[in-house]
Chains A and B, each alone.
Chain A
Amino acid sequence: MQVPARFDYEVAASVEEAIRLLERHGPEARLLAGGHSLIPMMKLRLAFPETLIDIHELDGELRYIREEDGALEIGALARHQDVLDSEVVRERYPILWDAETMIADPLVRNMGTVGGSLAHGDPAEDLPAAFMALGCEVVARGPGGERTIPIDELQTGPFETVLDPAEIIVGARILRAPQGSAYTKVKRRTGDYASAAIGVALNISDGEIRDAGIGMCAVGGQTLRARGAEEILEGQRPNMELYKRAGERAAEESEPSEDARGPVEYKRDLVKVLVVRALEKAVERAGGGA
């Protein structure tokens, strides 16, 4: 029987109180959102927080998905299922919808949160890769007030982020919807994390790809951006030859390691194929077919 080690438990009644509790209990305190990353780690004794500060009562403050001045704002306590259920997401940010259909299973999606996905810093977590393609901002609040962290700067290593111990993610903001976007993933079965997954978001004007964002999940020590592949695409007319070149480049930029999901070669091949598939779909959705 797997049981977490002992810890003290507090329930925060507001974001401000959560920050105060984090300050009071020090660096061995952790926030508890959906608990679907943290509790399994605590059961396996891979994590031993001294204090858990439960933020689930903050739904009123932090559970929302809304468009504001053309930007998409997703609250930290939005559940994976809320993202799937959102009309705005489905119509304007299909990359997030694609990703959510492939995250875990419906039961996990009822508990897991967007904020937890970002804060956990797990390189196999899908949303950070999708958000990286979209170029989102992470909004965090701490004792010193609120700040905005570009998604590219959030993670510093496996399960490590730039968040201060007393900081809480309040939400993610995407300034502008891309014309086309898609998320593709290979996993061994439902409920398993990605063997590899790729998110693409792009804009097309005058028949040329104006800008492209590519996020890579589970093929490195942290969520990766395929900058070289993005550059290959920019200013070019979409076509299969181009997608393949971008895929080759992204595979070179990936840093997979061998594990139960397969050897390095295999994962690089997955990157190649998934980049092509995501590009095809994103371009089609942008209405700029090859």
Chain B
Amino acid sequence: MRISMNVNGQTREADVEPRLLLVHFVRDVLELTGTHWSCDTSNCGACTVQLDGEPVKSCTVLAVRANGHEVTTIEGIWSGTELTPMQEGFRQEHGLQCGFCTPGMILTATAFLENNPDPTEAEIREAISGNLCRCTGYENIIKAVQWAANSREGVSV
């Protein structure tokens, strides 16, 4: 099936089998390997992308489902010159160890702050509860999200 979608601001088209999962479309067809793929059982959130602005687990979404829609991956978060407040928060607060969960965490947390710019710690914990960090560095991830919430503008590097 021919599909066309807006990925990180660009129109991307391809012929795919309906059974192709969005995570494999993004990683293998578009070669955007910043989206990670891990548990395959809808549990870990490593495969998180934003579909029409909402974070979703791309291992549990068909690529054809995104036809005509907007997808943002971690590559689309980086403007090319500036870190976003969320990325800078992860840098400042050591929000990553091995970095495997980080793309998913950043996509989830970025969408979360848009809906809830001034969250409590409990709300942050709940918001990232679908994203697992195997290094278990949750404390610093929470601090990173708080850092981003407290900073108003993007920070130049």
Residues of A near any B CB (own CB < 8 A): 1-9, 11, 32, 35-36, 39-40, 42-43, 52, 54, 56, 81, 104-108, 110-111, 190-191
Contact = CB atoms under 8 A, between A and B. Distances in A.
B72 interface: no
14 contacts: A1-B40, A2-B40, A4-B19, A6-B19, A9-B1, A35-B62, A36-B60, A81-B54, A106-B127, A106-B130, A107-B55, A107-B108, A110-B54, A191-B130
A4 B131 CA distance: 23
B95 interface: no
Given A1-B40, A190-B130, A107 B57 contact: yes
B130 A107 contact: yes
Given A39-B62, A40-B41, A110-B54, A6 B127 contact: no
A4 B64 CA distance: 14
Given A35-B61, A36-B60, A39-B61, A108 B42 contact: yes
A106 B64 contact: no
Nearest to B132: A191
A54 B61 CA distance: 12
Contact of A108 (B17, B18, B130): B130
Contacts of A5: 19
Nearest to B45: A107
A111 B130 contact: no
A111 B58 CA distance: 11
Contacts of A56: 65
A43 B57 CA distance: 14
B92 interface: no
Contacts, number: 79
Given A7-B18, A190-B130, A110 B56 contact: yes
Interface string B47-85: 010010011110011101101000000000000000000
Given A35-B61, A105-B45, A110-B54, 17 more contacts: A2-B41, A3-B19, A6-B17, A7-B19, A35-B62, A39-B61, A43-B40, A43-B41, A54-B64, A56-B65, A81-B54, A106-B108, A106-B129, A107-B56, A107-B131, A110-B51, A110-B56
Nearest to A1: B40
B126 interface: yes
A42 B112 CA distance: 30
Contacts of A2: 40-41
B54 to A, nearest CB: 4
A198 B56 CA distance: 28
B73 to A, nearest CB: 15
B42 A106 contact: no
B21 interface: yes
B11 interface: no
Contacts of A8: 18
B128 to A, nearest CB: 8
Contacts of B150: none
Contact of B42 (A4, A11, A32, A36): A36
Nearest to A38: B60
